[in-house]
Each structure stands twice: as structure tokens, then as C-alpha cells.
Amino acid sequence: MRRLLRERQPASDQACAALQTWLLAHPALRTVAVYSPLPGEVDLSPTLLRRAETRWVFPKIRGADLTFHSGLDLVAGAFGILEPAAGSPEVELAEIDAFICPGLAFDPRGGRLGRGRGFYDRMLAKARPDALKLGICFEIQLVTDTFPEPHDVRMDHVIAG
């Protein structure tokens, strides 16, 4: 999948449009966790700019865990991923209404194949039970089965574009 994404370098437009439609259908979501994209992940920037009423929070790697912070001031952090700058206010997991999650592949049952370090699975296991888990990817990342393991957290919905 990594090779396929490098070779094709898909654009994020379709996935962002589908995400925007999904968000419009869920107006009660106030605080939404997003991510800074790595190469081969959907760039959510166009969607974030269109929805100023939403409080977007970004992850920061802290040891083996993810913490979330508000604000759009991002700097290079662990693994070269853009993350909230020092001093960005931390947001408790209990305040987050939805998590938009990247992945290498997704399946029709909400299975998500991550990058292998388990950051998202550990964090999502601690999230509010009613918080929505949304996978987002390019069409080429949809597969028949991600072969989930017992610790893998399933997505409630997957958006592909």
C-alpha cells in the first residue's frame, strides 16, 4: 500500500468533499480531532478552512501516547509530523466528539490498518464510547479485509475519495 500511494500520489479533493458532506450531516459535532498528513494521507486542510465553527484539535506524540491540542500553530514534531506547538492548550479526550483517523488501508467493516505503532488504537480505546471514529482515505486504500487483531479499534464509518 505504501508503494502504491507513492506511485499514484492521489489528490485529496474527493475525500475532502465527501468529508464536508459527512460533517454537514453531523452538525452537533463541536470538537473534532484531525491530523497533519504524512505523504500518502488525505490532506484535510481545505475542510478545516471551510468550517470555522468547529474546534479542530491535533495530536501530539507524547511517549507512547497521543495527546490532543487546540490551535492551528503547528511545528515539526516526532517522526517529522506537524503537531501543535509548545504551549498549545491540551484538550481532554472526553471533550472530543469525533476522531478523523488516517490509515494505510480500511475495509468495509471499519477495519483500519495503521502504520504499526498503535498510537491511534491505544488512544481510541480510551475515548468516550459515543465519540465517532471516522476513517478517511483514498479509494485505492479500500481493501476487502485489513485482518484486524483483538486490540484494533474499528471505525464507525469510512470515507473514501
> pLDDT tens, position by position, for the chain (161 residues)?
888 887 888 889 999 999 999 999 999 999 999 999 988 899 998 888 788 789 999 999 988 899 999 988 899 987 788 999 999 999 999 999 999 999 999 999 999 999 878 899 999 999 999 999 999 999 999 999 999 999 999 999 999 99
Calculate the alpha carbon distances from 102 to 86, 112, 132 in Å.
23, 9, 14
Where do the domains of the chain lie? 2-160
pTM of the model: 0.92
Q: Which residue spans within the chain are E strands per DSSP?
A: 31-33, 55-62, 65-70, 74-76, 82-84, 90-91, 98-101, 105-106, 112-113, 132-137, 157-160
Residues 96 and 126 sit within 8 Å (Cβ to Cβ)? no
CATH pick for 2-160 out of 3.40.50.10420, 3.40.30.10, 1.10.357.10, 2.60.40.10:
3.40.50.10420
